[in-house]
Amino acid sequence: MRNSFLPTGVACVLALTLVLVTSVGRAGASTGEAPAALRSLTLRVAVAYALAHQPELLAARDRLLAARDQAEVPSAQWLPSFGLLGEFVESTTNNSTATPIADRAVDLPRIGGTTVQTDPAWRPEPTTLLAVGGRQELFDFGRIAAQSAAARALAAIEVSNLRQTRLDVRLAVASAYYAVRAARALLDVANQAESRAAVHRDYAQAAVQSGLRSPIEVTRADADVTRFEVARIRAQGSLVVSRGVFSAAIGYSDPEVDAADEPNDDPPLPPLIDAEARAVELDPAVQVAVGQVRAERALSESIGAASRPNLYVTAEASLRAGAAASSNAVVPDGRGLEPDVPNYSAGVVLSWQLFDATVAARERAAHTLERAFASGVEVARQRAFSRTRQAYQNVEIASAALVALGRAVDAARANHEQAEARFRAGLGTSTELADAETLRLNAEEEQVLGRFQAATARAELSHAIAEEP
């Protein structure tokens, strides 16, 4: 059972969040300042908070506790049981000298104390009964142990499900954290581009007023300022959305949470072969698949064990009365409506359901399901292997791309500086400067997104190999 909200849902929202920078604006956003009461968390603190408060993780823990309590149910059969019985029965009273003990395996009522008839009578007589008694298991022939093993195997599956949810929460929090940092970095890039464009517009206006440039230089510069203002507004909206996703990922009560900076201490990547081996062995989905096989095997054994004999001791005390005449022709007062005749008994019972077609059918079905789950284990291992290899390659690609993106930013900034110098010297046009500014903005945005992709790729690799600090 995989977490159905956090990794997939958050990833989609994060992708939308970052696309907002270039596609969707946030209406009404006018400042990039965070609210005064906005809380800021580092990734470590955010993960710790989420592990303690994330609702889906709390639900997974509750399911595990419920499964563990369920696993204790079969062993309770070793404890004594007590019961109270009250009856009013209309029945025939053709007696014999047998004195059976009632048991669930054979429903045989006791007809006691009445005259033995050579010719049975078919007129019913009333009987009342009040009784209290108890049972104690003596030997179960392995039935309870098999039921307990099946319940423990089911509880073990919930352990793996809880671990899967915990890994999903870590991935969702990390992805949301890096998205907030990326959105803030994109906002910084947009703010700087807008500021530079405003400076260029002011310089163009001064040049036009002094007669050094034509008015078109001002209108073009003003259009660039407006374009970069739109980029800033969109970046502000992206930051608000990403903070909201971050808050939801950690289960925080406030609508937004900011991401505080922390040192980048990424450990070196493990060898690919080690990562793949770890994923195939420790991936919670694989462990769930293995646990389902074990649980179904234990369940089939417990179903088969249900048909084994059962040995227990029983004791009871009762008050009863019957309207039928006894063997000495005495009819009790009250005509069987007043239970005033005391009795007690104790006995040892061996009960054995020799054959039950329903039990046999359930056992066959459980064995068939066990084989089906066994086939799924290899499927889960192959998925873990493939997911780990893909995540590992994504980390390598993102890391290599960061190097190229760094060079692209350096080149774009150098080009922008040259274009700006030419513009100030009167050699370049506002169009040339705008192109250089756009190239620089795009390169810096790509670098921010590249850092986000590298960070989330590492988080996804840690998730794939089931790595928990």
* DSSP 8-class letter at 215: T
Q: Taking all residues of the chain, what is their mean pLDDT, rounded to a whole number?
A: 81
Q: Is the pLDDT of residue 311 over 80?
A: yes
Residue 25 pLDDT > 60: no
- The pLDDT of residue 46 is 92
Give 448's strand partners.
none
| Tokens at 216, concatenated | 């078109």
pLDDT at 31 over 80: no
In angstroms, rounded to a whole number, what is the distance separating the alpha carbons of residues 32 and 30? 7
Please state the rounded mean pLDDT for residues 285-313: 90
pLDDT band at 59; cut points 50, 70, 90: very high
How many CA atoms, within 13 angstroms, populate the side-chain half-sphere of residue 43?
23
Measured distance CA(14)–CA(242) in Å, rounded: 7
Chain length of the chain: 469
**Dist. CA 154–CA 146, nearest whole Å:** 13
Place 3 in a pLDDT band, splitting at 50, 70 and 90.
very low
The whole-number pLDDT of residue 7 equals: 43
pTM flag (> 0.85): no
| 11-15, 122-126, 244-248 — most confident range | 244-248
Q: Given pLDDT bands bounded at 50, 70 and 90, which one contains residue 97?
A: very low
pLDDT of residue 105: 53
- pLDDT of 16 > 60? The answer is no
Query: Which pLDDT band, with edges at 50, 70 and 90, does 413 fall under?
Result: very high
What value does the mean pLDDT take over residues 176-195?
91
Establish whether domains 6-73+146-299+360-464 and 83-140+309-354 are of one fold: no
Can you give the residue ranges of every domain in the chain?
6-73+146-299+360-464, 83-140+309-354
pLDDT of residue 336: 67
Strands 39-41 and 81-91: unpaired
Model confidence at 328, pLDDT cuts 50, 70, 90, reads: low
| Cβ partners under 8 Å of residue 140, min gap 6 | 77, 308, 310, 311
Considering only residues 228 and 214, tell me which one the structure prediction assigns the higher pLDDT: 228
Q: Encode 348-365: b = buried (16+ Cβ within 10 Å), e = exposed.
A: ebeeeeeeeeeeeebbee
Kindly indicate the confidence band of residue 393, based on its pLDDT and cuts at 50, 70 and 90. Answer: very high
| 114 three-state secondary structure | strand
Predicted confidence at residue 28, as pLDDT, reads 35
How far is residue 17's CA from residue 237's CA, in Å, rounded to a whole number?
8
How would residue 395 be classed by pLDDT, with cut points 50, 70 and 90?
Answer: very high
Residue 223 has what pLDDT? Answer: 84
For the cut 90, the answer to whether the pLDDT of residue 448 exceeds it is yes
The confidence score (pLDDT) of residue 112 equals: 55
pLDDT above 70 covers a percentage of the chain that reads 80
What pLDDT digit, counting tens, does each position of 416-434 carry? 888 888 878 778 777 888 8
Q: What pLDDT, on a 0 to 100 scale, did the predictor assign at position 90?
A: 63
* 3-state percent breakdown (helix, strand, coil) of the chain, nearest 5: 60, 15, 25
Higher pLDDT, 112 or 40: 40
Q: Determine the pLDDT at residue 360.
A: 87
Paired with 134 in beta bridges are 82, 315
CATH architecture of 83-140+309-354: Single Sheet (2.20)
Topology (CATH) of 6-73+146-299+360-464: Outer membrane efflux proteins (OEP) (1.20.1600)
pLDDT recorded at residue 104: 57
Q: Report helix, strand or coil for 314.
A: strand
CA 40 to CA 42: how far, in whole Å?
7
